[in-house]
């Protein structure tokens, strides 16, 4: 089966699973997932499964990426914060759906590799940073949308504080090794937070702080034009 046929099969599977936002499906069609998959797993690039990317991290399965992106309800006018750049795949999808994406990764090597992929794919509306996701990005706050691609034990208050009125935060909550709750938090015009449970997921843990090798490199970097 060709890469194009595998991609079509995946998109049809996502449709059957309830992904009906045509903008999300179009973004998934346009972004080559194989560019974010390690060489050893290229034959699985369009399977609906998570894949390892090193440092104990994973590339989320396309179904989860699609569901979280659809739940985020973003559009081309909005500024989005992503916590956990990883391979860059989720960020690449979001870049097709928002005005500007700010993305934070705690592992320098992963962050730099993702940045190189963004450049190769000419995704120039993304700014990357090596940093502690729990702190968010206060210099750029508030954000219309925030998405967290690792599981916290409780909702990070700092991220909630960086959400603009009408803003949405998507975050998995729960312990590693168990099913976690995917939550959508919405800040209304009065500042009140409304919480919805969207289903069960399994993510790697969200870890505070930085690995020792990353502490010296936290400057934000914009995808090169």
Token code pair at residue 15:
């449709």
d(CA 97, CA 55): 28
Q: Which two tokens stand for residue 167?
A: 């803003």
Strand-pair partners of 196: 184
In whole angstroms, give the CA distance from residue 86 to residue 26.
22
Query: 14-18 contacts: CB < 8 A, separation 24 or more?
Result: 14/48, 14/62, 14/63, 14/66, 17/63, 17/66, 17/67, 18/67
Q: How far apart are CA 101 and CA 164, in angstroms?
A: 15
d(CA 17, CA 14): 5
Active-site option among 60, 87, 95, 144: 60
Between CA 103 and CA 220 the distance in angstroms is 9
- Distance, CA of 132 to CA of 217 (rounded, Å): 12
Question: Would residue 60 show up in a list of annotated catalytic residues for this protein?
Answer: yes
Distance CA 172, CA 186 (A): 15
Query: Which of the residues are catalytic?
Result: 60
């Amino acid at each position: 089966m060709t890469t194009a046929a595998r991609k079509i099969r995946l998109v049809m599977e996502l449709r059957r699973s309830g992904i009906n936002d045509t903008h999300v499906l179009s973004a998934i069609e346009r972004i080559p997932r194989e560019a974010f998959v390690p060489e050893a797993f290229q034959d699985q690039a369009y399977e609906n499964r998570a894949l390892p990317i090193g440092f104990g991290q994973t590339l989320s399965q396309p179904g989860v990426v699609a569901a979280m992106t659809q739940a985020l309800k973003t559009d081309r006018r909005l500024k989005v914060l992503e916590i956990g750049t990883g391979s860059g795949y989720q960020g690449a999808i979001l870049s097709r759906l928002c005005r500007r994406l700010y993305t934070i990764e705690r592992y320098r090597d992963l962050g730099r590799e993702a940045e190189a992929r963004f450049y190769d794919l000419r995704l120039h509306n993304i700014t990357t940073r090596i940093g502690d996701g729990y702190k968010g990005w206060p210099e750029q706050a508030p954000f219309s949308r925030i998405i967290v691609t690792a599981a916290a034990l409780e909702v990070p208050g700092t991220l909630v504080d960086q959400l603009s009125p009408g803003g949405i935060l998507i975050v998995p909550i729960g312990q590693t090794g168990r099913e976690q709750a995917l939550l959508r938090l919405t800040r209304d015009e009065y500042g009140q937070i409304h919480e919805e449970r969207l289903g069960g997921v399994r993510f790697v843990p969200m870890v505070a702080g930085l690995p020792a090798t990353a502490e010296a490199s936290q400057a934000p970097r914009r995808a090169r034009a």
